[in-house]
Amino acid sequence: MPVTRMSRRCRKHLSKIQKSQSKYELQQIASDIQSDLDRRNISYDEALNVGNVLQDKADTMDGDEIVYAISDRDSYRRTLELYLKDGVLTATEQLLLWEERRRLGITDDDHERLLMQLLAQWKKQGKSVTIHNFRRGGVSSE
């Protein structure tokens, strides 16, 4: 992929991301990025690149909170939430998720972390999710 020149505004966002100390601060930055994109002060590609950096920074911080930002991981999270909505994650859905991970460059570790975060959120809400065992064809509950 060719290297694109970043605008001054994006470089400011990157600087704020590097200085941030909490996921709450990162979420505020993500909101600012979304606002800049909505106002067309930055391009979608710039927002996506900065959002991916923001998600990487969030991974280094403690806590199971999810940071919502324009990024490949957020796109994957929305897809994962869609498949979990009915409370069952089938083997077919897992295969489709694997293909989506491959397309977006989401690692298996990122997938597991995100799945555990979503399951923790759903458990707090009193919801349960059944995950079909992809390898053996059995069913396990989470």
pLDDT at 127: 87
**Is the pTM above the cut of 0.85?**
no
Q: Could you tell me the two tokens for 3?
A: 């290297």
What are the pLDDT digits (tens) for 28-76? 999 999 999 999 999 999 999 999 999 999 989 998 888 999 999 999 9
pLDDT at 135: 60
Are the C-beta atoms of 51 and 30 separated by less than 8 Å? yes
Give the Cα separation of 39 and 118 in Å (integer): 31
- Rounded CA-CA distance 99/93 in Å is 10
Residue 119 in tokens: 């399951």
pLDDT at 136: 40
Tokens representing 33 are 């990025």
- Which pLDDT tens digit goes with each residue over 73-121? 999 999 999 999 999 999 999 999 999 999 999 999 999 989 998 998 8
Please give the angle made by the CA atoms of 42, 71 and 69, to the nearest 5 degrees.
80
Sign (positive or negative) of CA dihedral 60, 61, 65, 71:
negative
